[in-house]
């Protein structure tokens, strides 16, 4: 299913249809953009059976760790969360900035991501390559991620190296030096990243076509890595100015997790991050004031030769902070009921019973600052026409809107969803990631602590109302990407 380079893109036939209803936005696979330091990338998530004792114990441990966490704010506005875990052998240091691709100025998509890359170029004290070398030596693992809503830098280190890493990240917050030579290298690195992660990936290419339709005139409609014609023209001065505007202690959250003494962690945070003054911040462009609007159906194109193909549908959906927010918890359960592994309704129908697809996933992220999406993606079996998959899925969605989900299924979905919280992390410890992602997007530790009870409280009627609102009253985009059999 993968294509290897641009030349082969011509074999891809993309078909898009806007289907009914109002419209929205989101993010979904927002982690398109990562550090160029691929050698240090973390391993993928460990997949555990959510029904296993181990999975449930991990979820219990996660909320216990949250309970034991300490939070405080430095006088310069830096929010600090310390999550001590005595059984851990290392420390995760993560610094989260409230800036991302959604803050790219119009016409300059990719600026936030290119800035993230450029901050690996060294500081006044540690010019390249000393900065990267010191960081690499200090950390067992490290990475940086730019998403629509935030940018995060994180390292896993031995306890004795916490001070070194904290000094380096505080240095990166203040003293990055940008020069033309390094910027040219980073522009090429981003182009290469785009080739590898977007252009060589059928699903990513499809998402890139779908998003501008779902989010017209909205930054969530642009790729996080940016459109080449835009990010290639970004000047060194633009990156420097963007960095100066947004990289500031009062625009950041520090999350420390692992084996550490809380008092020591506090004093180190004060020592290294505390000496940077706060500064005035630009007003973020999100959440937007855009409202859902009715839209007709429009087929842009269609593959005439069904072969290996990906079928995808994105529904504009509310998040915790945008749209009809009271649906957010119900939508998480709906995504679980539809796409929860091999037990999910869509898997049972589309993969097992009808044999139309080899895989199907459902994704919904309620944490977006602006609207989110509920996305369904199916990998079609060879020779299956995409319409057949769409029709089978539509029937299942209609069933959710017409008939209440049985209580036993809801209970099961709640249990699985809560167990998966501890497993959904692909790189840093689950609790550190949950805390960082929530706090940097305006939510609180209290929101996280109350989440299990909020999920438990969702009723069958609320599920039905949410299904009707999102699957039948909001805008959606259906996309089909296929590699032509003519190839």
Which residues are identified as catalytic?
Answer: 116
Q: CA geometry: angle at 22 spanning 20 and 25, to 5°?
A: 115
Residue 330 and residue 36: Cα distance in Å, rounded?
37
Residue 193 bridge partners (DSSP) = none
**3-class secondary-structure state, position 155:** strand
> In angstroms, what is the minimal distance from the CB of 38 to Zn ion?
9
> In angstroms, what is the minimal distance from the CB of 173 to Zn ion?
19
> In angstroms, what is the minimal distance from the CB of 400 to Zn ion?
38
Q: Would you say 67 and 128 are in contact if contact means Cβ atoms under 8 Å apart?
A: no
> In angstroms, what is the minimal distance from the CB of 151 to Zn ion?
11
Nearer to Zn ion, 24 or 96 (CB): 96
Task: Compute the CA torsion angle 475, 150, 288, 191 (nearest 10 deg).
Answer: -70
Nearer to Zn ion, 223 or 318 (CB): 223
In the structure encoding, which two tokens stand for residue 247, read together?
A: 């990289």
391-429 burial: b if 16+ Cβ within 10 Å, else e:
ebbeebbeebbeeebeeebbebbbbbbbbbbbbebebbb
Nearer to Zn ion, 118 or 317 (CB): 118
Residue 433 and residue 192: Cα distance in Å, rounded?
27
Burial class (CB in 10 A: 0-12, 13-18, 19+), 39: exposed
Nearer to Zn ion, 23 or 150 (CB): 150
> In angstroms, what is the minimal distance from the CB of 100 to Zn ion?
13
Give the rounded distance of the alpha carbon of 318 from its chain centre.
Answer: 16
Q: Summarize the chain as % helix, strand, coil (round to 5).
A: 45, 20, 35
Q: List contacts with Zn ion (CB under 5 A).
A: 33, 193
Nearer to Zn ion, 33 or 360 (CB): 33
> In angstroms, what is the minimal distance from the CB of 140 to Zn ion?
21
Q: What is the 3-state secondary structure (H, E, C) of 253-322?
A: EEEEEECCCHHHHHHHHHHHHCCCCCCCCCCCCCCCCCCCCCCCCEECCCCCCCCCEEEEEEEEECCCCC
Give the rounded distance of the alpha carbon of 344 from its chain centre.
Answer: 22
Nearer to Zn ion, 193 or 437 (CB): 193
Nearer to Zn ion, 34 or 329 (CB): 34
> In angstroms, what is the minimal distance from the CB of 231 to Zn ion?
11
Please, where are the H alpha helices in 406-444?
Answer: 407-420, 430-439
Q: What region does 396 belong to: left with phi over 0, alpha with psi -120 to 50, or beta? A: alpha
> In angstroms, what is the minimal distance from the CB of 34 to Zn ion?
5
Nearer to Zn ion, 104 or 193 (CB): 193
Q: Would you say 176 and 111 are in contact if contact means Cβ atoms under 8 Å apart?
A: no
Q: Map tokens 């449930």 to a residue.
A: 56
Per-residue DSSP letter, 243: H
Q: Would you say 169 and 255 are in contact if contact means Cβ atoms under 8 Å apart?
A: no
At 361, give phi and psi (nearest 5°). -130, 150
Choose among 347, 470, 460: nearest CA to 23.
470
**3-class secondary-structure state, position 391:** helix
Nearer to Zn ion, 33 or 378 (CB): 33
> In angstroms, what is the minimal distance from the CB of 198 to Zn ion?
11
């Amino acid at each position: 299913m993968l294509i290897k380079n641009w030349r082969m893109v011509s074999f891809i036939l993309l078909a898009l249809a806007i289907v009914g209803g109002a419209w929205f936005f989101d993010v979904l696979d927002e982690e398109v953009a990562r550090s160029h330091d691929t050698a240090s990338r973390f391993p993928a998530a460990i997949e555990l059976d959510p029904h296993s004792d181990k999975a449930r114990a991990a979820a219990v441990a996660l909320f216990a760790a949250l309970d034991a966490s300490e939070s405080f704010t430095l006088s310069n506005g830096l929010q600090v969360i310390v999550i001590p875990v005595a059984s851990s052998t290392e420390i995760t240091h993560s610094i989260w900035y409230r800036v991302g691709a959604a803050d790219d100025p119009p016409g300059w998509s990719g600026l936030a991501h290119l800035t993230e890359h450029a901050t690996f170029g060294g500081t006044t004290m540690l010019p390249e390559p000393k900065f990267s070398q010191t960081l690499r030596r200090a950390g067992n693992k490290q990475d940086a991620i730019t998403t629509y809503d935030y940018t995060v830098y994180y390292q896993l280190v031995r306890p004795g190296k916490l001070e070194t890493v904290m000094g380096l990240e505080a240095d990166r917050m203040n003293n990055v030096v940008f020069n033309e030579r390094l910027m040219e290298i980073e522009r090429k690195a981003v182009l290469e990243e785009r080739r590898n992660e977007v252009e060589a990936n059928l699903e990513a290419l499809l998402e890139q076509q779908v998003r501008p339709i779902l989010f017209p005139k909205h930054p969530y409609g642009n790729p996080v890595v940016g459109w080449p014609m835009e990010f290639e023209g970004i000047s060194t001065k633009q990156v420097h100015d963007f960095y100066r505007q947004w990289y500031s202690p009062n625009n950041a959250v520090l999350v420390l997790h692992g084996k550490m003494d809380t008092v020591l962690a506090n004093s180190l945070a004060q020592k290294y991050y505390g000496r940077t003054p706060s500064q005035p911040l630009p007003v973020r462009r999100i959440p937007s004031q855009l409202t859902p609007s009715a839209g007709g159906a429009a087929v842009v194109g269609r593959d005439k030769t069904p072969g290996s193909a990906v079928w995808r549908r994105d529904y504009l959906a509310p998040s915790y902070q945008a749209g009809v927010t009271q649906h957010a918890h119900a939508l998480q359960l709906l995504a679980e009921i539809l796409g929860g592994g091999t037990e999910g309704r869509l898997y049972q129908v589309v993969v097992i019973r009808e044999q139309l697809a080899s895989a199907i996933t459902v994704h919904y992220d309620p944490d977006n600052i602006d609207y989110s999406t509920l996305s369904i993606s199916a990998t079609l079996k060879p020779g299956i026409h995409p319409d057949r998959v769409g029709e089978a899925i539509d029937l299942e969605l209609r069933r959710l809107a017409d008939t209440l989900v049985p209580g036993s299924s809801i209970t099961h979905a709640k249990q699985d969803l809560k167990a998966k919280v501890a497993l959904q992390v692909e790189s840093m410890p689950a609790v550190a990631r949950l805390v960082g992602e929530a706090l940097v997007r305006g939510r609180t530790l209290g929101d996280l602590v109350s989440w299990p009870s909020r999920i438990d409280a969702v009723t069958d009627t609320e599920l039905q109302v949410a299904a009707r609102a999102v699957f039948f009253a909001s805008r959606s985009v259906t996309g089909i990407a296929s590699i032509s059999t003519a190839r």
